[in-house]
Amino acid sequence: MASKKSSARPETQVIHAGLDEAPEYGAVSVPIYQSATFSFRSADEGASRFSGLDTGYKYTRLGNPTVRALERAVCALEEGFRGLATATGMAAISTVFLTFLRSGDHVIGTDAVYGPTRLLLEKQLAKFGIESSWVPTEDLTAVREALRPETRMLFVETPANPTIKLTDLEGCVELARDCQALLVVDNTFATPLLQKPICFGADIVVHSLTKFVNGHSDVVAGMIVAARKKLHDRLASMLHGLGGTMDPHQAWLVLRGLRTMALRVERAQENAQRLAAFLETHPGVSWVSYPGLPSHPQHHLVWRQMEGPGAMVSFGVHGGLRTAKSVIDAVRVATLAVSLGGVETLIEHPASMTHAGISGAERQKAGIRDDLIRIAVGCEAYEDLQADLETALAEAAVPTHA
């Protein structure tokens, strides 16, 4: 069933979207349909389901009521045609690549993208003749110059991980249309509450639901949302064949987290705005990247294509790599861990952790500097977060000049 646009605001949709398909039982929470297979009333009904004439359930890899509820909910928020839930965020991304790319095709991607996304194309899919170019997609001229006759996909992550740079979605839609390529957007950092790429013309949106949508750092999951039926049908065929689908308990956990996403994102974003402003004035901090600051190079894009600047902050310290690691080691409230979007604040060093598989030269070119510290701001009391960083900067003896 395709998504139907709702007149309700997103804050209401996250609470009510994707309700149980069996309302006669009166369940307020979507039940966990923990079943691997589904029975048929007759041989003819079974045949009809496998032929596609009957859309009822048959086997959980191919569809499950709890999983479908999550797919409907996220799709409604993204205003797409239909969603496909996956076992992980990378299962969503790999399914998109394997569905639409073949030998000889070319992909243009955001250079500062989630490390495993880039490595999948560079290390794995390159073996099958799929080529990729990585450019600063915040610069539309760079995107245009990278286009080739064989370009079949633009893969954009905005805000980018971990530089927090923004890409103009409308501009990328125009470039993709000109060369008949698909525009795929990783919307994990923004969430559909702050950005809806399909509304700007994107063809496909992917998510790591592990992050803000789930919000509790206790489950991994992914989602693909297609803008049109034709795209969805091709993606579904590939996903079901590969088997990277989501299980019902996993879906229930994400649905549970989804219901509070608006509250969590609002609080985390408020904390991030204040924390970025504090860091920008600290004498030991050499630079801050946060779209909510007027100093951010794409600050003008925030209110053109987003509802807010989000909860991700990156910054550098005087003293370089050694000092950056000392700051990270000195925090007490923030947790030293990769991932993001949970209620807790996480801090990490991308160059040696999430993006370590990318060569040093390519990291530098993408702006993933050795002094870059990434903070996924959570929902703690702001005063505690500021005090934590203030103390960590002092304990690390950060120089107050370069």
Which residue has better confidence, 21 or 68?
A: 68
**Does residue 114 carry a catalytic annotation?**
yes
User: Which of 61, 72, 118, 196 is the catalytic position?
Assistant: 61
pLDDT confidence band for 397 (50 / 70 / 90)? confident
State the Cα–Cα distance between residues 99 and 230, nearest whole angstrom.
Answer: 12
pLDDT greater than 50 at residue 1: no
Range in 7-21, 146-160, 247-261 with the lowest mean pLDDT: 7-21
Instruction: Answer whether residue 201 is part of any domain.
Output: yes
**Model pTM score:** 0.94
State the Cα–Cα distance between residues 41 and 170, nearest whole angstrom.
Answer: 49
State the Cα–Cα distance between residues 185 and 117, nearest whole angstrom.
Answer: 12
**Share of the chain residues as helix, strand and coil, in percent rounded to the nearest 5:** 45, 15, 40
CB atoms within 10 A of CB 361: 8
pLDDT greater than 90 at residue 27: no
What's the average model confidence in pLDDT over 323-331?
95
Is 188 found in the same domain as 66? yes
| pLDDT at 396 (0 to 100) | 87
Is 171 found in the same domain as 50? yes
User: Which of 111, 186, 203, 388 is the catalytic position?
Assistant: 186
3-state secondary structure of 3: coil
Instruction: Answer whether residue 77 is part of any domain.
Output: yes
State the Cα–Cα distance between residues 291 and 269, nearest whole angstrom.
Answer: 11
pLDDT greater than 80 at residue 63: yes
User: Which of 49, 105, 111, 114 is the catalytic position?
Assistant: 114
DSSP label at residue 104: T
pLDDT greater than 90 at residue 264: yes
Which of 206, 229, 258 is at the close of a domain? 258
> 335: domain CATH number?
3.90.1150.10
pLDDT greater than 80 at residue 214: yes
Is 173 found in the same domain as 283? no
User: Which of 165, 211, 369, 374 is the catalytic position?
Assistant: 211
* Residue 385 C-alpha from the chain's centroid: 24
What's the average model confidence in pLDDT over 258-271?
98
What's the average model confidence in pLDDT over 209-214?
98
Instruction: Answer whether residue 3 is part of any domain.
Output: no
What's the average model confidence in pLDDT over 64-93?
97
pLDDT greater than 60 at residue 4: no
State the Cα–Cα distance between residues 355 and 352, nearest whole angstrom.
Answer: 7
DSSP label at residue 352: G
The fraction of the chain above a pLDDT of 70, given in percent, is 97
Instruction: Answer whether residue 185 is part of any domain.
Output: yes
DSSP structure string for 276-300: HHHHHH-TTEEEEE-TTSTTSTTHH
**Does residue 4 carry a catalytic annotation?**
no
Is 113 found in the same domain as 246? yes
Is 229 found in the same domain as 272? no
Whether the upstream peptide bond of residue 162 has omega within 30° of 0, thus cis, is yes
State the Cα–Cα distance between residues 186 and 164, nearest whole angstrom.
Answer: 13
Instruction: Answer whether residue 5 is part of any domain.
Output: no
Instruction: Answer whether residue 280 is part of any domain.
Output: yes
Is 57 found in the same domain as 173? yes
Tracing tokens 């991304």 back to the chain, one arrives at 93
Structural domain of residue 31, as residue ranges?
10-258
Beta strands at 372-376 and 346-348: parallel, antiparallel or unpaired: antiparallel
pLDDT confidence band for 2 (50 / 70 / 90)? low
State the Cα–Cα distance between residues 37 and 127, nearest whole angstrom.
Answer: 36
**Does residue 186 carry a catalytic annotation?**
yes
| pLDDT at 17 (0 to 100) | 87
| pLDDT at 3 (0 to 100) | 52
- The alpha carbon torsion through 112, 113, 114, 116 (nearest 10 deg) reads -100
State the Cα–Cα distance between residues 2 and 71, nearest whole angstrom.
Answer: 10
What's the average model confidence in pLDDT over 212-237?
98
| pLDDT at 20 (0 to 100) | 61
What's the structural domain count of the chain?
2
pLDDT greater than 50 at residue 285: yes
**Does residue 165 carry a catalytic annotation?**
no
Which of 258, 275, 296 is at the close of a domain? 258
pLDDT confidence band for 29 (50 / 70 / 90)? confident
Phi, psi of 195 (to 5 degrees): -160, 135
